[in-house]
Amino acid sequence: MSGASLATSQRWTRVRVGVLTALMSLGAGLVARRAVQLGLDASPLLREMAEEQALREVRLSPRRGSIVDRHGAPLAVSVDVESVWADPRTLREAGVEPAAAAARLASVLDGVDAAALARRLASDRSFVWVARRVTPREADAVRALRIPGVAMQREARRYYPHRELAAHVLGYADVDGIGLDGLELTYDARLRGSTRTVRVLRDRTGRVVFGEPWLDERSLRGDDLELTLDRTIQHAAERELGLAVQTLEARAGSVVVLDPHTGELLAMASRPTFNPNEPGAAPLSARRNRAVGERFEPGSTIKPFTVAGALAAGVIEADTPIDCGGGRLQVADHVLHDARRFDVLRPAQILQYSSNVGTARIGAALGRERLYETLRAFGFGARTGIALPGEAAGTLRHPRTWYDVDAATIAFGQGMSATTLQLALAMAVIANGGELLEPVLVRRIRAPDGTVVETAERRVRRRVLPRSVARQVADMLVAVTGPEGTGSQAAVEGHLVAGKTGTAQKADEVAGGYREGAWVVSFVGFVPADRPRVVIAVVLDEPVVLASGGGAAGPVFRRIAEVALRQLGVPVGRLDDRPTDAGRAMPRGAAQQAADGSTPPLEAVRHASRDPEGRSTVPDVVGRGARTAMRMLLAAGLEASLRGVGRVVAQQPAAGADVPRGTRVVLTLREPVEASPVTIHGPLPSGESRSSQAAVSPPHEVGARARGEPSGPAGRSLPRERERP
């Protein structure tokens, strides 16, 4: 090779080396530039991408708070159970056929559809539920299968340890712990608490290998509810209601038990019922809380409130004689009837014998507007505000829409509707001295650490009656449970009972008018009558065997009252005047005691002597009222049997007789004879008597005017309301 050729070759070699070096330098620069971009500019994004591949945010749902009764007995709790889940990707990698895995799992899990599960396992997902909240037996069976990609996860399940007890009050929660009815729905946000989020490191199969420190267990719980319910009283109410519905072949029933001085609900029961652990197994009708959600025409249980309004307005006095027209009253084109023929009755006798005619005349004397205002003041036609979903307001139309006959029938509870809770709260007005209270169901709310964050207070909605009028009506209602009263079967041994029966024909909401042979029977009252501790309302819908308020609902009241009084520690026949909690004792004034000839309870005890051998001296009760006479006999360890109404005119055994304790003393009572026996009389062509037009306006306590509802179509048949002594 010549020198020129060699020089040219070397020159091109240097050029190629230079170009290659430049290209390599350029590539290195680009790589360095990219490295700088990745290391500095894109570092946050890359870090986030890496974390997304390995780290996950897990939402921790707190354990649902507990619900307990007033004594701390658990009614609804959350317990840890296991749920079965699967990773379809892991199944495929392990060579397991989805259909085969589904068949094996369905064979040990109740309620799992193998075909549906096979479709889910064939998906391209990394997580599917197989079965939620399985039993320990099922969990062990799944583990024994050893299927790759199938694992367990602990979850909290809502559990009601007493099954049907207070089911309608508690409600229930779904599989995800969300409240769907009852208190579980009303207080869902408080019971669930707030969801927390933590970050965990997972491996390629999705299992957690490292996580942030878990939060304190108490912070992963909702608030706890302490109810006013008493488990023992609730159990008695449900047991007795269930037996009555079954024995009397009734369609349904409800019971409310409450403290008349605080408004606290001690029990609330409905039949038919359901198991909140398995709510789907019961029909919707069985899950309905009839005590607050079902309206009915209350019938004669409204009569005490009509009488109370008339007494408060000064339209009548406690001894005003009422012309009952032989148990028949013409109102426009309709005729009202009583179950028995009565000529002249006084208000106490009208309640004792449940006279429709007498009550209609009192309502007419009170007047349409004031009758409406009275019933509204007692809470009818408006929701009580209880913390339960689905409460009905009842129906009480404005008097402008009333027909002539409505003015008479509404006075004794037909042509309007109410709920069992409304009826109990209205009777509590008479029991507590004249105040309408708001119902209380949740007594306290506690945070997860046990501190009380909310406490219910006694709330008075309005004063309805003067205390003296409430006491008068309470005394009248004692005669209802006497031997000749319509509620004699509601009498509780050793205690005075004040109450009222109701037997009302049911309205036909489809065809109009009233259904033949369909009745709603009820009893509402309080005990002890002199120092009320509980108000109990019992309602039975369409009993077949016995359709009377006294005969059907009265015994249910008695048996529930016996349990409630024992549970509350109320002694039998204890008649001393020991100090009581504020608002519980309702002593009668000295003027009233002088008027009816009664003596203070301590004096009654002094007149009744006992000896340690079980014998007693019969006290002298001639000339005294029925209530005072019964108190004196009870103080002496004796029983009383009443004959008639009014004051005691004779007794057997005689005063001073030495008899064994427990002896029954027969008392003959008679009303004093007056020269002018009839003051409220005459036909009621417009639903009011002439005396009602001249009556004075009621005091402010009777209640303010409220808007009613428009009247329904005219032409319905007149309801019948009956009472059987």
Q: Render 296-315 in DSSP notation, one character per residue.
A: B--GGGGHHHHHHHHHHHTS
- The pair phi, psi for residue 99, each rounded to 5°, is -65, -40
The type of residue at 192 is: R
- The pLDDT of 513-535, averaged and rounded, is 90
- The pLDDT of 432-443, averaged and rounded, is 97
- Shortest CA distance to 670 belongs to which of 694, 645, 687, 703? 645
In this predicted structure, the answer to whether residue 564 has a pLDDT above a threshold of 80 is yes
SS3 of 437-467 = ECCECEEEEECCCCCEEEECCCCEEEECCCH
- The pair phi, psi for residue 309, each rounded to 5°, is -65, -40
Task: Please pick, among 66, 78, 270, 300, the residue that the annotation labels catalytic.
Answer: 300
- The pLDDT of 445-457, averaged and rounded, is 93
The span from the first CA to the last CA of the chain, in angstroms, equals: 145
Q: Measured between alpha carbons, how far is 536 from 557 in angstroms, rounded to an integer?
A: 7
Please give the biggest Cα pair distance in the chain. Answer: 166
pLDDT at 483: 84
Residue 220: pLDDT band (50, 70, 90) is: low
pLDDT at 133: 80
Cα–Cα distance list, 467 to 308, 435, 584, 643 (Å): 11, 9, 12, 29
What predicted TM-score, i.e. pTM, was given to this entire model? 0.73
pLDDT tens, position by position, 306-335: 999 999 999 999 989 999 989 899 888 888
- The pLDDT of 280-294, averaged and rounded, is 94
Residue 512: pLDDT band (50, 70, 90) is: low
The answer to whether 235 and 257 have CB atoms below 8 angstroms apart is no
Domain(s) of CATH 3.40.710.10: residues in the chain = 231-577+676-702
Q: Measured between alpha carbons, how far is 437 from 417 in angstroms, rounded to an integer?
A: 20
- The pLDDT of 680-684, averaged and rounded, is 46
Residue 605: pLDDT band (50, 70, 90) is: very low
pLDDT tens, position by position, 27-79: 887 887 777 766 666 667 666 666 665 555 555 557 899 999 999 999 999 88
Answer CATH for 60-227 from 3.90.1310.10, 2.40.10.220, 3.40.50.620, 3.40.50.1240: 3.90.1310.10
pLDDT at 55: 56
Burial class (CB in 10 A: 0-12, 13-18, 19+), 524: buried
Residue 205: pLDDT band (50, 70, 90) is: low
Q: Measured between alpha carbons, how far is 343 from 328 in angstroms, rounded to an integer?
A: 9
Cα–Cα distance list, 657 to 13, 639, 653 (Å): 148, 14, 6
Q: Measured between alpha carbons, how far is 113 from 347 in angstroms, rounded to an integer?
A: 68
Show Cβ contacts of residue 657 under 8 Å, excluding neighbours closer than 6 positions.
617, 618
The answer to whether 623 and 525 have CB atoms below 8 angstroms apart is no
Q: For residue 209, what is the enclosing H or E element?
A: strand 208-211
The answer to whether 699 and 313 have CB atoms below 8 angstroms apart is yes
- The pLDDT of 242-270, averaged and rounded, is 96
Q: Measured between alpha carbons, how far is 193 from 221 in angstroms, rounded to an integer?
A: 6
Q: Measured between alpha carbons, how far is 241 from 238 in angstroms, rounded to an integer?
A: 5
Domain(s) of CATH 3.30.10.20: residues in the chain = 596-670
Q: Measured between alpha carbons, how far is 75 from 227 in angstroms, rounded to an integer?
A: 9
Which class does domain 231-577+676-702 fall in?
alpha beta
Percent over 90 (pLDDT), the chain: 45
SS3 of 373-394 = HHHHHCCCCCCCCCCCCCCCCC
Q: Measured between alpha carbons, how far is 440 from 457 in angstroms, rounded to an integer?
A: 8
In this predicted structure, the answer to whether residue 297 has a pLDDT above a threshold of 70 is yes
Residue-wise over 437-447: b if at least 16 C-beta within 10 A, else e?
bbbbbbbbbbb
pLDDT tens, position by position, 615-649: 888 999 888 877 778 778 877 878 777 776 667 88
Quick one: tokens of 267?
Answer: 């029990």
Q: Alpha helices, DSSP H only, in 58-192? A: 88-93, 98-108, 114-121, 136-145, 167-170, 182-186, 188-192
The angle subtended at Cα 414 by Cα 412 and Cα 420, nearest 5°, is 90
In this predicted structure, the answer to whether residue 88 has a pLDDT above a threshold of 60 is yes
Answer CATH for 596-670 from 3.30.930.10, 3.40.190.10, 3.40.47.10, 3.30.10.20: 3.30.10.20
Cα–Cα distance list, 647 to 235, 314, 316, 598, 670 (Å): 40, 23, 20, 10, 5
DSSP conformation class of 495? S
pLDDT tens, position by position, 96-123: 888 888 898 989 898 888 888 888 888 8
pLDDT tens, position by position, 379-394: 999 999 999 999 999 9
- The pLDDT of 569-589, averaged and rounded, is 44
pLDDT at 686: 38
pLDDT at 599: 32
In this predicted structure, the answer to whether residue 227 has a pLDDT above a threshold of 90 is yes
- Shortest CA distance to 114 belongs to which of 98, 96, 124, 102? 102
CA 241 to chain centre: 14
- The pair phi, psi for residue 534, each rounded to 5°, is -135, 145
CA 30 to chain centre: 78
pLDDT at 204: 55
In this predicted structure, the answer to whether residue 173 has a pLDDT above a threshold of 70 is yes
What average pLDDT does the chain have?
81
Q: Alpha helices, DSSP H only, in 166-278? A: 167-170, 182-186, 188-192, 231-247
The angle subtended at Cα 691 by Cα 690 and Cα 693, nearest 5°, is 70
Q: Report the SS3 class of residue 659.
A: strand
Catalytic residue at 300? yes
Show Cβ contacts of residue 48 under 8 Å, excluding neighbours closer than 6 positions.
none
